[in-house]
């Protein structure tokens, strides 16, 4: 990826997250990125295409960080993937803001995302392997279980301002550590015999 394109994506990410799709301006993105508007339109045909590229870029970065599980059991591997998802959301707060905006404003970009289902697909494949080898219990509607587990991780980050107060006066690192332990416990209790 060219340096100019990467700079445009990074600047756009912040602009879209802070101002939303409708409030963001290509002129401002160009100025902040230190490029001219023509370069933006050289790489991206429209604001909508740029917006979709920003989200795809985030998913690609999530995929590029090793999600290849290294555990010795399905349980270990599934927990690693869930922890990676939590780490990704914690390290990418703009991602959560943009995704929430897409849902809130019914932005129909989800069909244009390349890696939207990366975490779902990895968790589902681990679960199905676990069912096949007898490590996971078989559940009705496993898709709903996986969506619910991923949603439980996502919920903390998407509702951070409302939820954070329940944890009292502890550091964010401590809260994340608690959330990781809770998710491990939830996954273990729900999916494993």
Assign residue 33 the CATH number of its domain: 1.10.10.60
Long-range (24+ apart) CB contacts under 8 A made by 173-176 are 176/86, 176/90
Whether 101 and 53 share a structural domain:
no
Domain span at residue 71 reads 65-191
**CA gyration radius for the chain?**
19
Helix (H, G, I), strand (E, B) or coil at 34: coil
Whether 28 and 86 share a structural domain:
no
Any idea which of 30-34, 64-68, 73-77, 147-151 has the lowest mean pLDDT?
64-68
Whether 122 and 108 share a structural domain:
yes
Q: How confident is the model at residue 108 (pLDDT cuts 50, 70, 90)?
A: low
Whether 70 and 55 share a structural domain:
no
* Region 84-93 average pLDDT: 86
Number of domain units in the chain: 2
The whole-model pTM stands at 0.80
Whether 80 and 174 share a structural domain:
yes
Whether 160 and 137 share a structural domain:
yes
């Amino acid at each position: 990826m060219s340096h100019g394109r990467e700079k445009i994506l990074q600047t756009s990410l912040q602009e879209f997250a802070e101002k939303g799709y409708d409030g963001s301006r290509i002129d401002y993105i160009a100025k902040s990125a230190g490029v001219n508007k023509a370069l933006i339109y050289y790489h991206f045909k429209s604001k909508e295409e740029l917006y979709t590229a920003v989200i795809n870029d985030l998913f690609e970065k999530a995929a590029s960080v090793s999600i290849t599980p290294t555990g010795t059991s399905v349980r270990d591997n599934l927990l690693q993937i869930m922890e990676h998802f939590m780490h990704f959301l914690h390290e990418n707060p703009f991602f959560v803001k943009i995704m929430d905006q897409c849902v809130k404003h019914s932005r129909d970009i989800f069909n244009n995302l390349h890696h939207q289902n990366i975490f779902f697909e990895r968790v589902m494949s681990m679960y199905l392997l676990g069912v096949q080898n007898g490590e996971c219990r078989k559940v009705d509607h496993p898709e709903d279980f996986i969506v619910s587990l991923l949603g439980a991780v996502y919920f903390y980050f998407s509702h951070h301002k409302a939820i954070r107060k329940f944890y009292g006066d502890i550091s964010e690192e401590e809260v994340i550590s608690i959330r990781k332990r809770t998710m491990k416990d939830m996954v273990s209790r729900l999916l494993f015999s």
